[in-house]
Structure 1
């Protein structure tokens, strides 16, 4: 004879397995490695520093001609 299977538990296990498969697929599709994240963060910070250092400030005294 075969074992008695609780269908409710079987459905839950099947749903968990499907969610885990989808999550794994999303990690492969959308995930980035730690090195990639750090590289992107460094590039962004470098660009922001460059923009801040080269920002032209408006000086009201130079604009007045009297």
Structure 2
């Protein structure tokens, strides 16, 4: 026989996993300190300048 499952418990479990996934994404997106954001931005701009310096002009 098939296992009996409660639809309300299944619905709540699904909602909980979706909420956890959203929370994890927000921790990644907003969970950095100001110094970390500034360091990342500085590294990105340095890489952009490095690449732009090696471009050929036609």
Q: TM-score, normalised by structure 1?
A: 0.48
Gaps of 5+ in 2: 36-58
Aligned residue in 2 for 1:21: 21
Aligned residue in 2 for 1:5: 5
Structure 2 SS opposite 1:2: coil
Question: How many equivalent pairs are there?
Answer: 35
Q: TM-score, normalised by structure 2?
A: 0.54
In structure 1, how many angstroms separate the alpha carbons of the residues matched to 2:28 and 2:19? 14
- Per the TM alignment, residue 9 of structure 1 is displaced from its structure 2 partner at its CA by 0.3
| Larger-gyration structure (1/2) | 1
- Per the TM alignment, residue 30 of structure 1 is displaced from its structure 2 partner at its CA by 0.7
